[in-house]
Chain A
């Protein structure tokens, strides 16, 4: 089986996505991707390499490139294109609102941010909630449902015990575990990428 993917005129990362999709659709065979520039050729070749598929590159008279990728029966598909910084990410919620400015807007943005986290894979590995951020993991939070979705998908959810206690809401925790500063420091140090909101 041989299929052609015409990715001429497409900007990065479109040629890679198109080729990857075509490869996913076949069990075995060859996908020939045509691209019109050097960078796209390199990127599509890299895709083949990362998937452990054999590939060949032909240059046409017009200066376009054919990248022929052969997916064999025994080809092992490995996870591609997921940088470590995404696989192992800790997000620290230092406040119950996102950004500075209007409080109503900050609430809406935070609610929207957590919802969008559930829509975007790969998921972060850990979410840490501290200071007023613990209001997001306790009773009255509009994000409990989304945090549950994340937890069900293996995301670790940690709330700062000191903070829960300070706000008098230690008994109102609805999701995840209680943690202390030692664990918070460890999580921030060990993650390849920590984002503080």
Chain B
């Protein structure tokens, strides 16, 4: 498996994750809803994955619409291991 780097937003509820997906999609951002990596948390299973370059844009949109998120993390994937840092 190749090395990858991306960011994920985690949520307190599945419904917030679904809303987040809709809003960020409407803003034309390249995002994907994925199961939350185990390395982060097992609470709400859904998170939104996006490119690290879009971090500031995503932060602004989240702030503008007051989306209820739990946290934003940067994920670095080395082979099959993932290293996760909160950003």
Residues of A participating in the B interface, judged by any CB pair closer than 8 Å: 104-105, 108, 111-112, 115-116, 121
The verdict on A112 contacting B34 (CB below 8 Å), with A104-B18, A121-B1 known, is yes
Q: Is the CB of B1 within 8 A of A115?
A: no
Contacting residues, chain A, for B32 (C-beta < 8 A): 115
Contacting residues, chain A, for B14 (C-beta < 8 A): 105, 108
Q: Is the interface of A mostly helix, strand, loop or mixed?
A: helix
The verdict on A116 contacting B80 (CB below 8 Å), with A104-B18, A108-B18, A121-B1 known, is no
Contacting residues, chain B, for A104 (C-beta < 8 A): 18
What 1/0 flags go to B64-82 for Cβ under 8 Å of A?
A: 0000000000000000100
Contacting residues, chain B, for A108 (C-beta < 8 A): 14, 18, 33, 46
Q: Is the CB of A121 within 8 A of B80?
A: yes
Q: Which 8 A-B pairs have the closest CB atoms?
A: A112-B35, A115-B34, A116-B35, A112-B34, A108-B33, A111-B33, A108-B46, A121-B80
A104: nearest chain-B partner, CB-CB: B18
Contacting residues, chain B, for A111 (C-beta < 8 A): 33
A197 to chain B, nearest CB (A): 15
What 1/0 flags go to B1-16 for Cβ under 8 Å of A?
A: 1000000000000100
B77: nearest chain-A partner, CB-CB: A119
Would you list 19 pairs from A and B whose C-beta atoms are within 8 A, ordered by A residue?
A104-B18, A105-B14, A108-B14, A108-B18, A108-B33, A108-B46, A111-B33, A112-B33, A112-B34, A112-B35, A112-B45, A112-B46, A115-B32, A115-B34, A115-B35, A116-B34, A116-B35, A121-B1, A121-B80
Contacting residues, chain B, for A115 (C-beta < 8 A): 32, 34-35
A20 to chain B, nearest CB (A): 13
B79: nearest chain-A partner, CB-CB: A121
A120: nearest chain-B partner, CB-CB: B80
A146: nearest chain-B partner, CB-CB: B32
A140 to chain B, nearest CB (A): 15
A121 to chain B, nearest CB (A): 7
B2: nearest chain-A partner, CB-CB: A149
Q: Which of B30-57 contact A (CB under 8 A)?
A: 32-35, 45-46
In whole angstroms, what is the CA distance A116 to B45 when docked? 12
In whole angstroms, what is the CA distance A165 to B34 when docked? 31
B34: nearest chain-A partner, CB-CB: A115
